[in-house]
Structure 1
């Protein structure tokens, strides 16, 4: 067993080293520095100081600058000054989103103003030649389309995963629409926008005037479209035609290396867990009747109990409801387990729970923050994370106990996870308008279960107790949600 652990550790470290080397090599030859836009965090990527066209890059809902880095690096290597920034309420922008999200003159207008401010700041620099294009993903696609209609300086638009009612047959000027093949309705919307110019047009055709093109990136969805080589090449070629820039050379394909890095970090947790002392399992399996009660009753009761409750404490979209949901859900489950005599004291919970949380947040989370999306909070999010801990820790404790720290049969572990996701689904169905943003955050929760749950299971099976797993993963879950939800001041 010790030899196998060493072999796996060496292989994981090799994967981490190779992927980090490759990801850092993508930055070679570029100047990457902060751009002063007041409170808006912005980064410029460029190769040299000679004047060049500017491309302002905007992320989607719950995204950040890091998520758009494949485009920033590819365009910078092609001779542009690529300027990426964090919208209000996102990433490390300390200013919350505000305004009425249902009105064009509300939140949309405020976000357009941010795009305008970044554009102004970029064009004022000596490395800008006065020409500018806008590129945006998902939520930002509508923002940049509307901004292009008002800002005569914008000469081209690249809208990724676009949905915008502002697109007409005549505007915006020079529009490229990139959509993942698996994006369904958004793919249909891309074709509709293309056919406003030419009713007989199809994907991959350039029509106009005004110049317009819609492209499906093969075999990708809403996030994968940002890493697709097709997306990167099409964006570079479209801007190159408009600005007379080169469209040759390799594009920055980071998706595979990021997966290798995160996979290496996840796998490394197994040999590291071997450093913990082996301990016999402290308790027998939970009786089947108690298991079903503690798994299903909270899933049904919690959304019904909270349905009429108006709970607005945190300056973050639906995070206060999710925190309360986890608190009630975990509290009910722990109460059932306590009545059945299942709960035990465990003095190792703080030590090994802290180690697990440190690895998840500092090591794995540090890699996410560097290469994927913002994971390190600004000061304003610390209080949000602390409040979410009040719900996340009880919930994850109940999850860990019902899953026996990862040692329970797989059907039990699946039931526990699906019951919680189903409970959130019921809550959204009861109040779709108020809780619809929970649907957007569900992939984060599923990813958490898949990656951090795997690492927690290795620790739990090694030390023979679920309590450190529940505490550690509760802290990681609260942190993950606290840095992902957009901050919003209504």
Structure 2
């Protein structure tokens, strides 16, 4: 009896059940996102070229003025990232104003500099536009303006409040540096830091507190188990901010994870939905017998390698990945890609480009060391795909569009801005192209083996992290590596699904380029 193929596509019944499940989960995620807006109204405005979003709870009450809260995001963040904080303060009776600094989110202007050394003058100008707009609103108490900032935004709001004593109160979340603050200013300052953040953030909070001895500053609030991003979604953070508002009303319980939960459900739905979509668009691999063993007296094409395990079948791809990624980390620092107007993204694109080229070259030069790709259990599906180039092109376009939607929609709905503006439109194909070369290299070296694929990806992520620790890559890379690793893991799962169908070998890499390249090109700052 022939053995079952490990690449057998799921049955029609399973495909239908997964399609129904994907629709149900997507509906639930959409419902959660809609409920996150319950009782809130949002209005989009642009002032001085700065995109802003005004959030309030309920209609204005004649003759009643509310506290106003200007909320500033951090480096590589956006107004979308800070929306849960706006929801919290709006439900406590304040008027919240979100905005995008230059180079971030929907703001197409360039932000000079990079990292914490970004132009303070540009940040101050954008912040001044936001404060001026909010103070001019008839429903806002001009004497009760509060500034809230995270990371780079925390530095901006504390500097602004120190120079503008009319600001009622200030909240600094993950303040990167307190060196520019004059002693005792700003007076009413609430400092919040995550317990799992890099030590420098805790030191900056303690330094800012010491500089304000004798003022109305509180000791820094340390949020348990929170790092640099999760501190924004911690219930403790939201409770502290809500309690710091002057004269606010309302007692609504903060729901900082509502939008994030809805977005996570959409990610799950899109992840599941690839299976029925691939079944609809791609030819099935027919089940058949295992490939014949080499006949007596005939040498196989390459050394016998275990499917995914060590020592030989895993060590050689790992060694090649280590060499390729190590060279990529060094060369990327001097490539022209570093001049791309995309902070951090230029280095990452160069790193992926060089690593991908070297992986492809290594597999081409030493093909026998990595083994042949796993053959399909039957060539029927492959032949059908070759006879239908139009079908293959349509499938590739549809699946790539699906991948873009799968990554952009959840990120934009529940995390941060993921829509291209300005120079991002022409940066997007460049970044995606670098991701495509890297993932093509991974596919070739992995030779259709999921375990080997994950090993190569893990080595690449480790080398990128190390390059940031030793100073080859920008330090900020350390904060985006977790998301980068998640996206590569997502692509590995989808690659496993696509290998069960008779599609072209480059298709998983194409979808992966969309999954990984889109967030890099749309979320990192224009510089």
TM > 0.5 between the two? yes
Task: Pick the aligned partner of 1:97 from 111, 122, 131.
Answer: 111
Worse overlay, 323-332 or 301-310: 301-310
Moved more, 300-309 or 46-55: 300-309
TM-score (structure 1 length as normaliser): 0.86
Write the deviation string for residues 428-449 of structure 1: whole angstroms up to 9, x where unpaired. 46654x6334333323311211
Looking at structure 2, the residues matched to 218 and 32 of structure 1 have their Cα atoms a distance apart, in angstroms, of 31
Question: What's 1:381 paired with?
Answer: 424
Is 1:229–1:251's contact at 8 Å kept on the other side of the alignment?
yes
1:258 Cα deviation (Å)?
3.3
Q: Aligned with 1:212: secondary structure?
A: coil
Aligned-partner Cα distance in 2 for 1:388–1:445: 14
SS of the equivalent of 1:126 reads coil
**Structure 1's 280 and 392: CA in aligned 2 closer, same or farther, altered over 3 A?**
farther
Contact 2:93 2:250 in 1 (8 A): no
1:441 aligned residue: 480
Which of 251, 256, 263 in structure 2 is aligned with 1:258?
263
Contact 2:150 2:173 in 1 (8 A): yes
Counterpart contact for 1:401–1:470, Cα < 8 Å: no
Per-residue CA distance 1:271-303 (angstroms, 9 max, x = gap): 433333322699999964864564343223333
CA positional deviation for 1:71:
0.7
Q: Is 1:135 equivalent to 2:148 in the alignment?
A: yes
Secondary structure at the residue paired with 1:274?
A: helix
Instruction: Decide whether the 8 Å contact of 1:40 with 1:86 is kept in 2.
Output: yes
- State the distance in 2 between where 1:163 and 1:401 align: 42
Tell me, which stretches of 5 or more residues in structure 1 are unaligned?
A: 199-207
Mapped pair 1:113 → 2:125:
yes
Q: Which of 186, 199, 219 is residue 172 of structure 1 equivalent to?
A: 186
Residue 77 of structure 1: aligned partner: 91
1:159 is paired with a residue of what secondary structure? Answer: strand
Distance 1:29 1:303, change over 3 A: closer
Equivalent positions of 1:317-328 (< 5 A) are 317-328=343-354
Residue equivalent to 1:230: 236
SS, match of residue 423 in structure 2: helix
Moved more, 389-398 or 319-328: 319-328
Q: CA deviation at 1:262?
A: 2.4
Distance in 2 (CA, whole Å) between partners of 1:143 and 1:261 is 34
**Measured at CA, do residues 318 and 468 of structure 1 come closer, stay the same or move farther in structure 2, by a change above 3 Å?**
same
Superposed, 1:103-252 pairs within 5 Å as 107-130=119-142, 131-165=144-178, 166-167=180-181, 170-185=184-199, 186-196=201-211, 209-239=215-245, 243-246=246-249, 248-252=251-255
Query: Number of matched residues?
Result: 470
Measured in 2, the distance between the counterparts of 1:454 and 1:150 equals: 51
Cα pair 2:359 2:445 within 8 Å, conserved: no
Does 313-322 or 383-392 show the bigger shift? 313-322
CA offsets per residue over residues 430-472 of structure 1, 9 Å max, x none? 654x633433332331121123332333223334653100122
1:370 equivalent in structure 2: 413
Q: CA offsets per residue over residues 236-266 of structure 1, 9 Å max, x none?
A: 1111xxx211251221232434333323332
- CA distance, structure 2, for counterparts of residue 310 and residue 379 of structure 1: 21
Which residue, 404, 410, 418 being the options, matches 2:458? 418
Q: Specify the alignment match of 2:500 in structure 1.
A: 461
- Structure 1 residues 211, 390: CA separation in 2 closer, same or farther (over 3 Å shift)? closer
Decide whether the 8 Å contact of 2:407 with 2:515 is kept in 1: no
Question: 1:280·1:464 contact (CA, 8 Å) conserved in 2?
Answer: no
CA distance in 1 between counterparts of 2:412 and 2:261 reads 17
Equivalent residue for 2:60, pick from 49, 62, 81: 49
Q: 1:274 aligns with which of 271, 279, 289?
A: 279
Q: Which moved more, 1:117-126 or 1:140-149?
A: 117-126
TM-score (norm 2): 0.80
Deviations 1:86-135 (Å, cap 9, x if unpaired)? 111111111010158676xx602210121111111221222222131100
**Distance between the aligned counterparts of 1:244 and 1:261, measured in 2?**
38
Cα distance change on mapping 1:178 and 1:429 into 2, 3 Å? closer
- Higher gyration radius (CA): 2
The CA deviation at 1:193 is 3.7
Q: Distance in 1 between matches of 2:319 and 2:196?
A: 38
> Which of these residues, 303, 312, 325, is aligned with residue 299 of structure 1?
325
Structure 2: any 5+ residue segments left out of the alignment? 1-10, 292-300, 306-312, 376-381
Pair 1:15 & 2:25 matched: yes
Of 466, 481, 484, the match for 2:520: 481
